[in-house]
């Protein structure tokens, strides 16, 4: 008796039912590059004494949110590839 092994992305709705749906690697790279550039801009935001963010927590939180979005782009792309 064998149990089927779950595959990555198997829990997500299938994109294979939609005609012509595929992952464009260049679009994924562009999206991630744009988000990383946005995170770099957020990192250059001044913090410290005399600012609204004396400990840098607002800056760090903003960077984490942006990088989380970049991670989601990559996860969605991988899940789409795994489903097809």
Condensed to tens digits (0 to 9), the pLDDT of residues 40-68 reads: 999 988 888 888 888 989 999 999 999 99
Pair 77, 23: CB distance under 8 Å: yes
CA gap 81, 12 in Å, rounded: 11
Tokens encoding 50: 């005399």
* Residue 6 pLDDT greater than 50, yes or no: yes
Q: For residue range 15-34, list pLDDT tens digits in order.
A: 444 444 578 999 999 999 99
């Amino acid at each position: 008796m064998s149990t089927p092994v779950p595959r990555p992305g198997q829990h997500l709705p299938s994109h294979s039912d939609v005609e012509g749906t595929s992952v464009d690697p260049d679009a994924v790279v562009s999206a991630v590059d744009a988000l990383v550039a946005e995170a770099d801009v957020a990192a250059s935001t001044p913090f410290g004494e005399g600012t609204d963010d004396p400990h840098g927590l607002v800056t760090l939180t903003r960077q984490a949110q942006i990088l989380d979005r970049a991670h989601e782009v990559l996860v969605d792309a991988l899940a789409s590839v795994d489903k097809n």
